[in-house]
Amino acid sequence: MTTDLWYDTAAAATLWTNGRPVYDRGDNICVVGAGASGLTAVKNLKEHGFGVDCFERETGVGGAWNWRHDRSPVYASTHLISSKPFTQYPDFPMPDSWPDYPHHSQILAYLERYADHFDLRQHIWFGTEVVEVVAAEDGKWDVTTRGAFGGAERTQRYAGVVIANGHNWSPKLPGYEGLDGFAGQVIHASAYKDAAQLRGRRVLVVGAGNTGCDIAVEAAQQAVHCWHSSRRGYWYAPKYALGRPADQVNDLVLALRLPLRLRQWLFHRTMRMTVGDLTRFGLPRPDHKVYESHPIANSQLVYYVGHGAITPVADIARFHRSAVELADGRMIEPDLVVLATGYLPRFDFIAPEALDIGQDDGSDGPPRLHLHLFSRRHPTLAVVGLLQPDSGLFTLMHWQSVAFARWLRLRQAAPARADAFWGRVRRAPDRRWTDAKVKDSTRHWFEISHTRYLRALQKTLNELAVSQ
């Protein structure tokens, strides 16, 4: 295990590529990003005996959960939508004294404590941005970095790369006819930070994802008027059911291993008996069964619709100078439009082929990775945290990074078994790890059902186990 700092090796550049020195970091692994996924990758690689260099463009850990960061999507009131048992890392529980659904500032505190507890900061190069990751010979990688606030570029060679740059920071902005000529203010949800931005405004919130629903609820409390536009009807699951966090009830049903149809029936029935008929509130009827779209957990949306503080409206047809025309021909006159239309993943620093990005017809698409984790082109490349689970994410990224660390170790310890595994990964077909067939949309690129996905990951972990 090599843990020497880079300036120790800086003196001796042993390799040259394109007229530039490449500093060889030996068996060390490079992790891109020190957010929730990067931190757990560093921790688990370290635990499996690897030296790790992690590059983070910001000056602190926490990634998206650190509200000080430029790219953080959190707003002042952001709370978890999955309860603690699903959200925490499986080997570092959140304190008992915290609520079921902690606030984003608590998540940041949690990640900072995780970094300190496992002594991860010594591996992280803060204020350092990864500009290029290029495959070199023998499964190695040349990683070029640069100071996020300027500075010279520097290239180092690693035995493996874990990409953990997150997928909720690059806004997905839909194009609308007439948007440029609209006189009101238009912002993406990523620019929404505080409820004060809504005070006294006439607000149109676009999108019924979890963020859109949160902002609509805040607009209901703060704005003069709030319209909430959604393309289709959704299931708005309450955060509590039967006196406990709703996701815990859901997992109780999962633990009983009931068939999907029966679970859907149970869910629909519970929703009808508690929330009631959504069309009565003027919301569109869901055009799909539950589990067929990313779950929305919001107890307050329907409540505020019922109080007249939120007016549900149809999809947007086009913008006019001072009005917005809806798909049903109605005109409304907001002066602030918040586009809660989601985010797209971006991997500017690596060749798209490495991650099999793009469809066969040449159009854009998601990276196509085995288990949303392993590259099928390069055995020493993985992406951690690129998931949209129906539960919390930290548990999943933890096991993803354990799987990758075990894989790297198996490559060293048992090359023959590693070859067999790699053959299967290369040939493994793309699969959806969802219980129900989800709607085809960029929002569902990485949609997974957590139990189904973890069962697959469990199998992989068992395959990759190296007996000690």
Structure-block tokens of residue 46: 């370290």
CA torsion angle 239 214 330 172 (round to 10): -120
Structure-block tokens of residue 442: 């960029």
Among 2, 20, 119, 348, the residue binding other proteins under the rule CB under 8 A is 119
Nearer to other proteins, 191 or 260 (CB): 260
Which one-letter amino acid corresponds to residue 293? S
Among 399, 421, 433, 445, the residue binding other proteins under the rule CB under 8 A is 399
Q: Is residue 299 close enough to count as binding other proteins by CB under 8 A? A: no
Shortest Cβ 96–other proteins spacing (Å) = 4
Q: Indicate the helix (H) or strand (E) that contains 260.
A: helix 260-274
Query: Which residue has 């806004």 as its token pair?
Result: 171
CA-closest candidate to residue 203, choices 188, 190, 193, 216: 216
Among 10, 14, 20, 47, the residue binding other proteins under the rule CB under 8 A is 47
Among 92, 125, 126, 265, the residue binding other proteins under the rule CB under 8 A is 92
CA-closest candidate to residue 159, choices 262, 277, 29: 29
Window of 27-35, 175-183, 303-311, 457-465 that interacts with other proteins by CB under 8 A: 457-465
Among 8, 96, 180, 360, the residue binding other proteins under the rule CB under 8 A is 96
Which one-letter amino acid corresponds to residue 306? G
Structure-block tokens of residue 193: 């930070």
Interacting positions 176-235 with other proteins (CB under 8 A)? none
List the alpha helices (DSSP H) in 322-445: 394-413, 415-427
Q: Is residue 411 close enough to count as binding other proteins by CB under 8 A? A: no
Contacts of residue 305, Cβ cutoff 8 Å, sequence gap at least 6: 228, 281, 282, 283, 311, 312
CA distance 444 to 292: 10
Q: Is residue 455 close enough to count as binding other proteins by CB under 8 A? A: yes
Shortest Cβ 91–other proteins spacing (Å) = 5
Nearer to other proteins, 70 or 96 (CB): 96
For 439, the 3-state DSSP assignment is: coil
Window of 88-96, 127-135, 195-203, 210-218 that interacts with other proteins by CB under 8 A: 88-96
x/- binding map, residues 347-366, to other proteins, per CB under 8 A?
A: --------------------
Interacting positions 227-256 with other proteins (CB under 8 A)? 247-249, 251-252, 254-255
Shortest Cβ 255–other proteins spacing (Å) = 4
Q: Is residue 91 close enough to count as binding other proteins by CB under 8 A? A: yes
Nearer to other proteins, 47 or 419 (CB): 47
Strand runs labelled E in 261-395: 296-297, 311-313, 316-319, 324-326, 331-332, 336-339, 343-344, 381-383, 388-389
Shortest Cβ 415–other proteins spacing (Å) = 21
CA distance 18 to 335: 53
List contacts with other proteins (CB under 8 A). Answer: 47, 84-86, 90-93, 95-97, 116-119, 247-249, 251-252, 254-255, 391, 399, 451, 454-455, 457-458, 461-462, 468
